[in-house]
Structure 1
Amino acid sequence: MTFKPKSASIVYYVSDIVRTETFYNQTLALDLQRMEGAEPFWLQGQLSNGLDLIFFEMEGERGSSPAVVFEVDDGGIDDIVAELANAGVTIVTPVSEAPGGWSADFLDPDGFGLGLWQSGELPRSLKS
């Protein structure tokens, strides 16, 4: 496999984004920023070790949140998902539009949700 994760984010699906913003900004003193690209806005903040925390307001089932999302930093998300599928990995959500780019979701062997995210500025495939 050609993909080796270099960075990751923890993504939470929350029922009330404003309540979440207040809790993390005021109670935990984390600096979460409002981001555009999803309705309603979504929140993103970075811990001192470089790990991103991301919050979307949406329904989530037990086990679907939080999820670790690996950033694809050199393009080729379609190729990576195809390689995962060929290796027998369960693809939950094929490559689809996401705020600022493309994403896909898959399961590890124990059924934990993992994801990929790639900037829309990068090519979806590196194969000619």
Structure 2
Amino acid sequence: MASSGKDKRIDYIEFNVSDIGRARRFYGDAFGWTFTDYGPSYCEFSDGGLKGGFTSEGEVRSGGPLVILFADNLADALKRVEKAGGKILKPVFSFPGGRRFHFADPDGYELAVWSDK
């Protein structure tokens, strides 16, 4: 059987959130994501390459895998995250291959943004 090209790759990420509207506003303002609603307790998001969802049916908890987003301009991404209401957890730091920062979204999920510049 031929591979679909998606085998062993992240295909979808789902966040339990306390307020879907707030999550939409945050990720839309900070990263320009688009959204499709599937009823009052589920909303799908797309960043243009990866899809995921926000659900309000489970327990909101921080933690889990670290989702890392890429940015061509790290300073601009940091400003957008702060303006959208994100809390910077680790300021910009260098690592082999680039620089990144970590932030918490309005529900406390920790994510990171990196750039190779």
What TM-score do you get using the length of structure 2 for normalisation? 0.46
Normalised TM-score (structure 1): 0.42
